[in-house]
Amino acid sequence: MTNEARNRAIVRGTALVLATAVALTGTGAAAVADRAQQAGPGGSTVNGALQREVARHVLDAGPPGYLARIDNGRRVHTLAAGVADRNTGRPITVRDQFEAGSNTKTFTAVLILQQVDRGKLALDAPVERYLPGVVPNGSNITVRMLLNHSSGLFSYTGDPDFFVDMEKDPQHVHTDAELLAIAFGHEPYFPPGKGWQYSNTNYTLLGMILHKQTGKSMPALVKERITGPLGLKRTYFADPRATNTGPGYARGYAITYASGTPRYTDTSSWPLGGWAGAAGAMISTADDLSRFFSAVLQAKLFSPKQLKQMKTTVPFPAEFPMQGGYGLGLIRTDSPCGTVWGHGGDTMGHHSTAVATEDGRRTAVTDTTGEPADLTENPGVQRYYQAILFGADTVTICQMLGKPAPAEVLDNLRGTTPASSVTK
Residue 2 gets which letter from DSSP? -
Asked whether the beta carbons of 369 and 381 are under 8 A apart, the reply is no
- CA distances to 14, 75, 221, 239, 379 from 284, rounded to whole Å, are 17, 22, 16, 14, 31
Alpha carbon distances (Å) from 159 to 16, 156, 179, 186:
21, 6, 10, 8
Torsion of CA 198, 204, 206, 212, to 10 degrees: -170
Residue 160 CB neighbours (<10 A): 14
Q: Are 312 and 327 in contact (CB under 8 A)?
A: yes
C-alpha span between 144 and 383 (Å, rounded): 36
In the set 44, 102, 150, 151, the catalytic residue is 102
Q: Which CB contacts under 8 angstroms, 24+ apart, belong to 35-41?
A: 35/77, 35/78, 35/79, 36/75, 36/76, 36/77, 36/78, 37/75, 37/76, 37/78, 38/75, 39/71, 39/73, 39/74, 39/75, 39/76, 40/73, 40/74, 40/75, 41/74
State yes or no: is 155 an active-site residue. Answer: no
Measured distance CA(171)–CA(235) in Å, rounded: 22
DSSP one-letter code for 76: E
8 A C-beta contact, residue 207 and residue 108: yes
Cα–Cα nearest to 424, from 56, 12, 100: 12
β-strand 370-372 against 253-256: which pairing, if any? Answer: parallel
Strand (E) or helix (H) holding 237: strand 236-237
| Helix boundaries (H) for 223-345 | 228-230, 286-297, 304-310
Contact 354, 103 (CB under 8 A): yes
Residues 89/113, Cβ–Cβ less than 8 Å: no
Q: Which residues contact 415 (CB under 8 A, 6 or more apart)?
A: 57, 383, 386, 387
Please say whether the beta carbons of 168 and 118 come within 8 A: no
Where in the sequence numbering do the catalytic residues fall?
A: 102
